[in-house]
């Protein structure tokens, strides 16, 4: 209980919707499943409906969502006070990095939902719709909580990003029965967190969750996954990335941090990347555990040399970027 309480008390708006936290939870769930069941083919999609698996998926999802909402309410929203429903326009915050994070979170949660319902043998279209929209359902609940919070408000920008991510994963499954365009994530430590640790994090784990300066979101796709293109192996991808830097505040940089220490002036700017990537989900190792791990961590962008463009330094080559 102490760890549970500490986890929820550590949440802040700047990191509450942070993309990697939900990815970590979803990945941990799949890894846990891989070591909890030993029968061969456990993770192979079911040929027919398995009611035990279906019930396990639905009950697990409902229990997880309920526990998350209860924890957030009692340890964060209730503590900071509730009021009438309000709307917040935060579309200019974090140079839209948080919006990309919302979309990617909804996308990945939807992908995991589809995977689990297919494993349970649920009807294909039902698995796609229900699983694909599971992330949107969960994130909408948190947005509604924000709407009644004294400190925040319901963000239409966040919700639009949530919808986009869910539509992106669901639409591809309906069209191709697979994900040919994947939203992925990478992170590296930055110098900005030490200047405002109360917002961007004090420990490596906190900065990974809170420091948008170190996060990059990617759109990875393999030309080989499209018919008529045999030059590319299906696991080798081209990848377009977006990030931002110089941010010590959400919409502007303050002059002092929470401890009263001055913060250097940093220029805020966007970054655009072009790189290669590997789609782990298209690799086919013999080990069922490896297949599960590749699926669970398929959201991670594999480090490669990258071309970067930004308005401060123009075009430059990053020998190895993550």
Q: Average pLDDT, stretch 255-264?
A: 95
Question: Domain total for the chain?
Answer: 2
In this prediction the pTM is 0.86
At 196 the pLDDT is 96
Per the structure block, which two tokens stand in for 171? 């639409």
Q: Is 191 exposed, middle or buried (0-12, 13-18, 19+ CB in 10 A)?
A: exposed
Q: How far apart are CA 259 and CA 197, in angstroms?
A: 10
Q: Would the pLDDT of 147 be above 80?
A: yes
Examine the domain organization and report whether 140 and 268 are in the same domain.
no
Q: Would the pLDDT of 132 be above 90?
A: yes
Examine the domain organization and report whether 46 and 68 are in the same domain.
yes
Examine the domain organization and report whether 193 and 156 are in the same domain.
no
Q: Could you say which of 144, 178, 212 is where a domain stops?
A: 178
Examine the domain organization and report whether 12 and 159 are in the same domain.
yes
List, for residues 167-194, the tens digit of each pLDDT value. 999 999 999 999 999 999 999 999 999 9
Examine the domain organization and report whether 217 and 122 are in the same domain.
no
Residue 64 neighbours by CB under 8 Å, 6+ apart: none
Q: How far apart are CA 104 and CA 145, in angstroms?
A: 20
Examine the domain organization and report whether 139 and 185 are in the same domain.
no
C-alpha gyration radius of the chain: 20
Owning domain of residue 212: 180-322
List, for residues 196-252, the tens digit of each pLDDT value. 999 999 999 889 888 999 999 999 999 999 876 678 899 999 999 999 999 999 999
Q: Lowest mean pLDDT of 85-89, 203-207, 274-278, name the range.
A: 203-207
Contact criterion met (CB below 8 Å) for 54 and 122: yes
């Amino acid at each position: 209980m102490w760890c549970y309480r500490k986890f929820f008390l550590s949440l802040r708006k700047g990191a509450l919707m942070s993309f990697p936290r939900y990815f970590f939870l979803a990945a941990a769930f799949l890894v846990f499943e891989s070591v909890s069941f030993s029968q061969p083919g456990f993770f192979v999609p079911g040929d027919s409906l398995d009611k035990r698996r279906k019930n396990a998926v639905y009950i697990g999802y409902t229990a997880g969502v309920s526990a998350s909402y209860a924890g957030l309410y009692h340890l964060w929203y209730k503590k900071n006070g509730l009021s009438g429903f309000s709307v917040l326009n935060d579309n200019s915050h974090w140079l839209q990095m948080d919006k990309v994070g919302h979309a990617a979170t909804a996308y990945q949660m939807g992908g995991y939902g589809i995977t689990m319902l297919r494993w349970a043998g649920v009807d294909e279209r039902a698995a796609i719709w229900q699983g694909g929209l599971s992330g949107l359902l969960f994130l909408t609940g948190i947005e509604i909580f924000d709407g009644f919070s004294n400190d925040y408000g319901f963000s239409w920008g966040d919700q639009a990003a949530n919808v986009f991510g869910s539509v992106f994963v669901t639409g591809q499954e309906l069209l191709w029965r697979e994900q040919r365009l994947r939203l992925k994530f990478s992170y590296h430590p930055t110098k900005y967190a030490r200047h405002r640790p109360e917002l961007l994090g004090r420990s490596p784990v906190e900065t990974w969750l809170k420091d948008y300066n170190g996060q990059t979101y990617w759109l990875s796709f393999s030309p080989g996954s499209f018919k008529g293109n045999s030059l590319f192996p299906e696991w080798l991808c081209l990848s377009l990335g977006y990030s931002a830097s110089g941010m010590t505040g959400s919409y502007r940089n303050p002059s002092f941090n929470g401890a009263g220490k001055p913060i250097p002036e940093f220029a805020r700017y966007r970054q655009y990347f072009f790189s290669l990537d590997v789609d782990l989900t298209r690799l086919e190792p013999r080990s069922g555990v490896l297949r599960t791990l590749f699926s669970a961590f398929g959201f991670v962008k594999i480090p490669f040399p990258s071309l970067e463009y930004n308005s401060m330094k123009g075009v430059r080559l990053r020998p190895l970027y993550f």
